[in-house]
Every structure is written in C-alpha cells, then in structure tokens.
Amino acid sequence: MADDNSRTGTRYADAEALAYAARVHATHDAALERAFEAPGDNDMPAIQVGPSEGKLLHVLLALAGAQRVVEVGTLAGYSAIWMARALPPGGRLWTIEHDPKHAEVARGCIDAAGLGEVVEVVEADGPDGLRRVEPNGPFDAVFVDADKGRYDVYGRWASEHLRPGGLLIGDNAFFFGRLLDDEDPSAAAMRRFHEAMARDFRSVCVPTPDGLAVGIKR
C-alpha cells in the first residue's frame, strides 16, 4: 500500500532500514566487498551502485534469462560482478570503461571473483567501446551507468542492438535531483533517454535513491 505522502516523494527508508535490507537481501562475499571498497582503496570516486541496486540488477538479468550483456561504465567492477553472477553457463558480459586506472582495478576485482573468463573489460570511450562490442550482438541486456550527458546516445545504441524483449537499464535516472533543469544539457540528454525509452520499450522508472529506469524492448 501507499499513502499520499509516499506518492509525492516522502521516503520511509532511513539509514538503519536501508542497511538492514541490504544486509538481509544483498549480502557481500569477499569478492563483492573487495569491488565495493576498491574505489576508496584506489583513490577513485566512490560512485558505484549500492548493494541493493546491485542485487536488483542481478535479479532482473536472471528473470530475463540474459546471456549476452553490455555495461557502459565499469568503475571497479562491482556492478559487473553482480550481473555476471546472474548469467547462465556460457554467458558473457562486456563492460566499457574509459579510464585506464579504473579498468585495471576492475580487472583485478573481476579476476578475484573468478569471472575473468565471463567478463571482458573494454578499455575505451563509451561510444567507441560500443562499436567494438557490436559484432557480439544482439544483446539481452544493456546497463548504463556512465557520463550522464550521453545517456541519450547510449539509449539509442541499446535500442538498435538489443533483441526484442531485451532489457535496457539506466542508473541515476533522476540525475541527482537535476533531471528537470532546463539549463543543463546533461539533464536534457537524460530526459531524451527517458522519453525514447518510454516510446520504444515497456518501461518504468523505479524510485531508487537516484532512480533506475528499466525497459523491455518492444
């Protein structure tokens, strides 16, 4: 159930409740913990998804039966590990990272998780990396968590290279509270991402802390 307050934005999940839910439903083993802590340990921005969002990605890919997955924005490989663990035997995940240091750290975390044969870290700028992985398509899922000013570009690519019924997932869909800023070009790109997803996918924006847009390709 919901009430008028929750429908208009009030959230009842305080820090303690969020920590409890993550501890119960999205527990870390050593490999996930290493990847989650890697940004802080390696002077990288700690902008990875949270444990519950990571587990949600895992569940969505498992529900979709995803076998061939693309991620735009690797950071230290935390979300890649969650997603790769949802794939069946023979599944593959290509994750694109433009920063050489981040890519190196991610490879270490992914190898430590025993997923080096499942996940390929593609060291390239986003659009260039997508062109490099295109021959492996069509894909079952695309997860975007990269530079917000090109979400519309990544969304168009996903629409062209996902199979019918494939998943497009975009993190930070509320753009840190700036989604409706008419003077911010990145906010405009994010709105174009939303609107194209609504047109070409059966979609919803899940109200995670910064929004998770999810669509099934028509």
CATH number, domain containing residue 192: 3.40.50.150
Cα–Cα distance for residue pair 140/66, rounded to 1 Å? 5
What pLDDT, on a 0 to 100 scale, did the predictor assign at position 2?
74
- Domains in the chain: how many in total? 1
Q: Taking the model in full, what pTM does it have?
A: 0.96
Residues of the chain with pLDDT under 50: none
In a domain, 100, yes or no: yes
In a domain, 6, yes or no: no
CA distances from 195 to 112, 188, 216 (A): 39, 10, 14
What pLDDT, on a 0 to 100 scale, did the predictor assign at position 1?
63
Q: Range of 101's domain?
A: 12-217
CB 62, CB 91: distance < 8 Å? no
In a domain, 3, yes or no: no
In a domain, 4, yes or no: no
Q: Which residue reads 């890697």 in tokens? A: 38
Phi, psi of 72 (to 5 degrees): -110, 110
- Is the previous residue joined to 135 through a cis bond, with omega within 30 degrees of 0? no
In a domain, 157, yes or no: yes
- List pLDDT tens digits, range 108-121: 999 999 999 999 99
Strand, coil or helix: 137: coil
In a domain, 1, yes or no: no
**DSSP structure class, residue 49:** P
What pLDDT, on a 0 to 100 scale, did the predictor assign at position 55?
98
Query: In the beta sheet, which residues pair with residue 144?
Result: 72, 170
What pLDDT, on a 0 to 100 scale, did the predictor assign at position 13?
83
